[in-house]
């Protein structure tokens, strides 16, 4: 098992919250809240569902900057330039201090290169997985641990990912995070690829939803 964290999944639309509740119902330490990230009373780290260039002027990112201040964007962009030479890939995430007394961190986590439709991709899974790994790495390397992560419905606004698909990919990443393998082989790799379902078809199709666990 990996280190225990608590997830607060928050969205302003009840239909998205219903999709998240359904997909995360069997997973531990998860609360689903109908509302806005900035109105949550308690969390250590807020997930910025970002673009690759740290341009935080729209959607959830704009609310984050309004809440924490414009200098947060400057620190995010400096990290992107220093660590990624100006473009942070989808599938990566890093932790940035906010200088807020009760909400000390954000996880800058691109779901897309620039604002675009990502409905027929596995970007939501990649982003959720990267965020969880970034929190894990932070907790292993620093004394000030992240115990509670507030996360929006990734890819569901500008990205146009259907709510059920976004919730499925987010839950799958969290499930894999909670139960990592003890060894790696092609059987495991094929299972992960099949469960994620997207990739390799240029994104033209929604793959069928199949319970691959029945073949274990």
- Of all residues in the chain, what percent carry a pLDDT higher than 70? 90
Tokens 């932070």 sit on residue: 138
Q: How is residue 15 written in tokens?
A: 């239909």
Confidence band, pLDDT 50/70/90 cuts, at residue 215: very low
**Are 43 and 10 within 8 A, CB to CB?**
no
CATH 3.30.70.20 fits 6-184, yes or no: no
Asked if pLDDT for residue 188 goes beyond 90, the answer is yes
SS3 of 150, please? strand
Q: How is residue 16 written in tokens?
A: 């998205």
- Residue-range domain boundaries for the chain: 6-184
Separation CA 175–CA 181 (nearest Å): 12
Buried b (16+ CB within 10 A) or exposed e, 85-106: eeebebbbbbbbebeeeebbbb
What is the per-residue pLDDT across 90-139, written as a single tens digit (0 to 9) for each? 999 999 999 999 999 999 999 999 999 999 899 999 999 999 999 999 99
Separation CA 101–CA 181 (nearest Å): 37
**Are 62 and 50 within 8 A, CB to CB?**
no
Backbone φ, ψ for residue 103 (5° rounding): -125, 80
What is the per-residue pLDDT across 157-181, written as a single tens digit (0 to 9) for each? 999 999 999 999 999 999 999 999 9
Question: What mean pLDDT do residues 139-165 have?
Answer: 96
Residue 11 CA, chain-centre distance (Å), reads 13
């Amino acid at each position: 098992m990996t280190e225990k964290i608590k997830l607060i999944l928050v969205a302003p639309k009840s239909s998205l919250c219903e999709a998240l509740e359904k997909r995360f119902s069997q997973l531990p330490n998860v609360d689903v809240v109908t509302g806005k990230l900035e109105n949550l009373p308690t969390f250590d780290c807020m997930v910025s569902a970002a673009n690759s260039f740290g341009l935080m002027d729209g959607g959830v990112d704009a609310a984050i900057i309004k809440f924490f201040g414009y200098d947060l964007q400057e620190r995010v962009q400096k990290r992107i330039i220093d660590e990624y030479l100006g473009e942070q890939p989808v599938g990566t995430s890093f932790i940035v201090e906010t200088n807020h007394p009760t909400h000390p961190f954000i996880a800058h986590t691109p779901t897309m290169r620039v604002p675009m439709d990502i409905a027929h991709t596995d970007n939501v899974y990649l982003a959720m997985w990267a965020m969880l790994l970034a929190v894990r790495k932070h907790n292993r390397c620093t004394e000030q641990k992240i115990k509670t992560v507030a996360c929006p419905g990734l890819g569901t606004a500008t990205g146009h990912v259907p709510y059920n698909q976004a919730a499925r990919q987010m839950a799958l990443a969290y499930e894999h995070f909670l139960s990592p393998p003890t060894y790696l082989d092609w059987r495991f790799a094929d299972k992960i690829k099949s469960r994620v379902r997207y990739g390799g078809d240029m994104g033209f199709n929604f793959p069928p939803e199949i319970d691959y666990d029945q073949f274990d």
